[in-house]
């Protein structure tokens, strides 16, 4: 199998998507063990409308292992980080690729990747429930984690007024002092 280097992968993304699509990109090299072997982690930030294309490039390169979507509530935007890894199966060849994108809270839409990677369904449904991100093309399924009668418009991991807030019930904590 022909393995591309991290730099070449980065170049591939830049060539295929064009410079304007990429917000940020960096390659981190991590060291492990006495022999100081290294492994690499790639971070690529893309604009939301190029996101699906970026995943397609990845799938063509080598069918990636999809780990999870991390969501971060940053003021007026929600950042989604998709964690992938490619080139597994051989010692030390695997590269972690994290593709992140920023969605404005006015327009929380992103295309689904379940047509490319069916295993992403759980994570997309979770992100939908926790952050209110709409995955275009994801079939409308009942809540996976939240109860079915959960009020709409409340997204627990949001830090703004749509979240459950940080003032949580401290029932048990109060009891400690008794």
Partner 1 sequence: MKLNKYFERSLWVFHLNTGSCNGCDIEIVAGLTPRYDLERFGIKLVGSPKHADVLLVTGPVTSKMADRVKRVYAQTPDPKAVIVVGTCGISGGVFYNSYNLSGSIDKVIPVDVYVPGCPPRPEAIINGVLQAWIKLEKLRKTLKDNSPAK
Partner 2 sequence: MSNKTYSIPIGPVHPSLKEPMTFHFEIYGERIEKVHLAPGDNHRGIEFMGRQRNPIQIIYLAERICGICSASHPFAFCQAVENAMGIEVPEKAQYIRAIIAELERIHSHILWAGVAAHELGFDSVLFLSWRAREEVLDLLEYLTGNRINYGIFMIGGVRRDITSEQITRIKKTLDYYKEIYGKLEDIFLNDPTIALRTKKVGILSKEEAIQLSAVGPTARASGLNKDVRQDQPYAAYADLEVQAITPEVYSGKVNGDVYDRIVVRLLEIVQSIQIIEQCLANLPEGEIVAEEKLVKLLNLIKKAQGEGIGRHEAPRGEVIHYVKLNQSELPEVWKARAPTYNNLMPWIPMLIGQQIADIPIVLASIDPCIACMDRVTILDRKSGQKNILTKDDLHKLSVEKTRRMAQ
Give residues in contact with partner 2 (CB under 8 A): 28, 30-35, 37, 39, 41, 43, 63, 65-68, 70-72, 81, 83, 85, 87-96, 98, 117-123, 126, 129-130, 144-151, 154, 156-157, 164, 166, 168-169
Using CB under 8 A as the binding criterion, the count of chain residues that bind partner 1 stands at 10
Q: Which partner from the list partner 2, partner 1, none does 176 bind, CB cut-off 5 to 8 Å by kind?
A: partner 1
Q: Which of residues 104-163 bind partner 1 (CB under 8 A)?
A: 147
Q: Least distance (Å) from partner 2 to the CB of residue 174?
A: 16
Interatomic CA distance for residues 10 and 89, integer angstroms:
21
Q: Which partner from the list partner 1, partner 2, none does 1 bind, CB cut-off 5 to 8 Å by kind?
A: none
Tell me which residues touch partner 1 (CB under 8 A): 147, 164, 168-173, 175-176
């Amino acid at each position: 199998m022909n393995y591309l280097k991290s730099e070449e992968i980065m170049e591939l993304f830049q060539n295929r998507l064009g410079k304007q699509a990429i917000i940020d990109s960096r390659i981190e090299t991590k060291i492990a063990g006495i022999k100081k072997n290294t492994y690499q982690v790639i971070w690529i930030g893309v604009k939301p409308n190029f996101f699906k294309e970026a995943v397609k490039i990845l799938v063509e390169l080598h069918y990636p292992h999809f780990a999870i979507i991390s969501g971060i509530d940053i003021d007026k935007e929600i950042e989604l980080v998709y964690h992938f890894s490619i080139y597994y199966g051989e010692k030390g060849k695997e590269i972690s690729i994290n593709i992140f994108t920023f969605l404005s809270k006015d327009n929380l839409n992103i295309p689904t990747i379940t047509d490319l990677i069916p295993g992403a369904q759980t994570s997309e449904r979770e992100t939908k429930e926790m952050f209110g991100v709409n995955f275009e093309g994801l079939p409308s399924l009942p809540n996976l984690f939240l109860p079915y009668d959960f009020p709409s418009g409340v997204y627990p991991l949001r830090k703004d007024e749509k979240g459950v807030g940080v003032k949580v019930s401290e029932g048990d904590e109060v009891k400690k002092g008794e």
